[in-house]
Amino acid sequence: MPAKAIVLVALLALIGPRTALASSPATIKVDLRQAPQAIFHADLSFPAKPGPMRLAYPRWIPGDHAPAGPIENLTGLVFSANGATLPWTRDPKELDQFEVVIPKGATRLDIHLDFLAVPAIARAINPASTAATDTLAVLRWHTVLLYPMGVDIAQYKIEPSVLLPDGWQFACALPAQSSAPNPSFAPVTLEKLVDSPLLTGRYFATYQLTTKLPIRHTVHIAADDPADLVVSTEQQQALARLALEAHAMYGSWPFDHYDYLINISGKLRERPSIGGQEHGESSDDTGGPGVFTTATGKESVGDTLSHEYSHSWNGKYRRPAGEKVHDYQQPYDDSLNWVYEGLTTYLGHVLAARAGFWSLEEFYDEWANEAAAMNCRPGRVWRNLQDSATSLPTLMRAGAGWTSWRRSADYYPEGALLWLDVDVTIRKLTANRRSLDDFLHLFLAKQPGRDPTIKAYDFAELVADLEKVTPNNWALFLHTRLESHASDAPLGGLTQSGWRVTYSSQENAFEKADEGADTVSADFSIGANIKADGVVQDVIWGGPSFKAGLGPGMKILTVNDRTFSLATFRAALDETAATETRSAAATQSVRLLISNGGPTRVIAVSYQGGQRYPRLERTGQDTDYLAEIAHARSPNTSLNTSPNANPGTTSNAASDAHTGNAK
């Protein structure tokens, strides 16, 4: 053999294993056949080389803003190489990190694990991370994932596949290479995988939305009850208009398709409302029975889906610099969450109105509710809006009780009020020629067309883009409101629009939806929120109930000597209101017999005024900027649903690589 050939063979012998290592990606295979028992199984395989190897279970999950990885449900962990089981150890200080020694001659590390898809007793952070019933499941990949420490999640590739129960269909934002019951996907980055949950279920429906836009929008639903698979034509049209209104508002696309992944189960959510979590090309949403068929559900669907959809721009494509990290173990800096969540809350409200989910009157009612609720936050005197965002991880661990003093996720509603103030201020300064929409075209669209590359932002860039819209010393404007310890909420957006918050004895539609049939909210009257069984959920710090000695967790047995029920409680409040035949002093208190683990006792809540629920009231001839803001921007006001929309029980009708059929 020539000398050059000998050298070449030697070189190939040296680089061959590395080349094979690079060309053979990591894999994850998830078995969901025991999902009805709330058990997921996963088998992972990673390229490896002899010596110590450290792996981690994801801790800081995008969208949770906190160390929310449900490691308490990780079980059955087995490491092996070349078919032999390997011993492993857990880091005693970093409990979500594991170390194993790869033996000589091994080129891969294999891992088996089980995930118990049941909520932990103490888990207050995103309990929806464990969604499984007899007929549906949601696979959030981070729950069944270990990954090598030191890799960049935006670069490291892994090849996923799933095994489903017989007869179940699925949908995922990742293009499927094979169909149910064993869908597989091309290798993707860890970041992309964790950002692409999979929805599966026995009863399944897919709706293609007609938007007259180049971007495909699809709704996928898995439900415990087939009756919950039906989405009305009106709702489909509103979802289609949502895409049009978002395009008019943002002016760009951070994705080439979008999938709403919606599971509907009374086990996972009791009320006909919906909650969700954002992803770049999809949203992962959990709804209660009737969410698409009731008025309450309609209100919730419009706001939630508009919110999560908007996160594709604000939170995914544009992301606070403190939340753009290289792995899932790095703590987040949540100090800009009044932008990530507060701005998105504002955008969700606006798009719900512009797309037609909400009437203008409902839009007004939502602002009345949020303004009134934030005015019941005496805790603002010690914790300002900025700190409610910065301390988010600690607040997410807090349970119910004394929320008005501790403060909770107030960066959502108070953040929305702040951004309403910004929008109205821009309109006033420019004689209504410019608005927050102009800022969004700058801030959320850094180049024309489709741009999926994540771009981090900071406070300085945000202020600079606001100044481009209209000069106003926006840094001072924002700092003043973020750092304020005033007792009142920032209501400049409402007052500049000629509105003020007043109160009525009648609930508005959103108050009824929030209360449901199992709660009465008396926050704005005696200052307490009470469940149907008489248990006090929360008490407003400094309010009438607080002064009388009522506290969260106590149980009300009687109201004014009558057995407690929501009806008798409301009646007792009504008796404190003045009428034509009863003076204001007729009833000056509400007597409560309470139990708190010791002897029962009676407390008297000094109060007059009856039931009180917030409304907006006009104060003058100022321009009604709220009405201007809610006005639709898209010229396409009338849409037909796609003839391919499928209200049935299978996703196979949709010839789509993201559902049960492969291309």
State the amino acid at position 436 in one-letter form. L
Lowest mean pLDDT among 235-244, 423-432, 441-450: 441-450
Rounded average pLDDT over 169-186 = 96
List residues bridging with 98 in a β-sheet: 55, 90
Contact 323, 65 (CB under 8 A): yes
Q: What pLDDT shows up at residue 268?
A: 85
Does residue 499 carry a pLDDT above 60?
A: yes
Question: Which CATH number applies to 21-164: 2.60.40.3650, 3.30.70.270, 2.60.40.10, 2.60.120.10?
Answer: 2.60.40.3650
- Tokens coding 467: 């100044």
User: For residues 448 and 538, which has the higher predicted lDDT (pLDDT)?
Assistant: 538
Q: Could you give the CA distance from residue 40 to residue 117 in angstroms, rounded to a whole number? A: 7
- Tokens coding 200: 């599966």
Q: What angle do CA 444, 192, 340 make, to 5 degrees?
A: 35
Q: What pLDDT shows up at residue 116?
A: 94
Lowest mean pLDDT among 286-290, 312-316, 396-400, 539-543: 396-400
20 CB-near residues (< 8 Å, 6+ apart)? 107
Q: Report the residue count for the chain.
A: 663
Rounded average pLDDT over 34-59 = 97
Residue 653 pLDDT level (bands cut at 50, 70, 90): very low
Burial 502-525 (b: 16+ CB within 10 A, else e): ebeeebbbbbbbbbeeeebbbbbb
Does residue 19 carry a pLDDT above 60?
A: no
Q: Could you give the CA distance from residue 346 to residue 391 in angstroms, rounded to a whole number? A: 21
Give phi and psi for 395, each to the nearest 5: -70, -30
Does residue 655 carry a pLDDT above 50?
A: no
Q: Could you give the CA distance from residue 643 to residue 236 in angstroms, rounded to a whole number? A: 12
Topology at the third CATH level for domain 525-611: Pdz3 Domain (2.30.42)
Q: Please report which helix (H) or strand (E) contains residue 364, including its range.
A: helix 360-375
Q: Could you give the CA distance from residue 209 to residue 240 in angstroms, rounded to a whole number? A: 6
User: From start to end of 210-281, where are the E strands?
Assistant: 216-223, 257-264, 274-278
**DSSP letter string over 191-220?**
HHHHT--EEEESSEEEEEE--SSSSEEEEE
List residues bridging with 531 in a β-sheet: 519
Residue whose entry in the numeric block shows the structure tokens 């007004």: 364
What percent of the chain has a predicted confidence (pLDDT) above 90?
77
Q: What pLDDT shows up at residue 295?
A: 80
What percent of the chain has a predicted confidence (pLDDT) above 70?
88
List residues bridging with 216 in a β-sheet: 257
Q: Could you give the CA distance from residue 187 to residue 193 in angstroms, rounded to a whole number? A: 9
Q: Could you give the CA distance from residue 466 to residue 471 in angstroms, rounded to a whole number? A: 7
Chain centroid to Cα 193, Å, comes to 18
Q: What pLDDT shows up at residue 12?
A: 37
Q: What pLDDT shows up at residue 448?
A: 64
Taking all residues of the chain, what is their mean pLDDT, rounded to a whole number? Answer: 89
Q: What pLDDT shows up at residue 4?
A: 44
Backbone CA torsion sign across 345, 348, 354, 360: negative
Does residue 470 carry a pLDDT above 70?
A: yes
Contact 555, 567 (CB under 8 A): no
Rounded average pLDDT over 522-545 = 96
Domain spans in the chain, listed from the N-terminal domain onward: 21-164, 525-611
Contact 245, 632 (CB under 8 A): yes
Lowest mean pLDDT among 13-22, 276-285, 464-473, 607-616: 13-22
Lowest mean pLDDT among 213-222, 294-303, 350-359: 294-303
What confidence tens digit (pLDDT) does each residue in 381-405 have? Answer: 999 999 999 999 888 777 779 999 9
Contact 358, 348 (CB under 8 A): no
What confidence tens digit (pLDDT) does each residue in 302-338 have? Answer: 999 999 999 999 999 999 999 999 999 999 999 999 9
Residue 347 pLDDT level (bands cut at 50, 70, 90): very high
- Tokens coding 620: 């003058």
Q: Could you give the CA distance from residue 134 to residue 168 in angstroms, rounded to a whole number? A: 11
105, with CB counted inside 10 A (0-12, 13-18, 19+), is exposed
Q: Could you give the CA distance from residue 118 to residue 130 in angstroms, rounded to a whole number? A: 6
**Mode of pairing for the β-strands spanning 282-287 and 257-264:** parallel
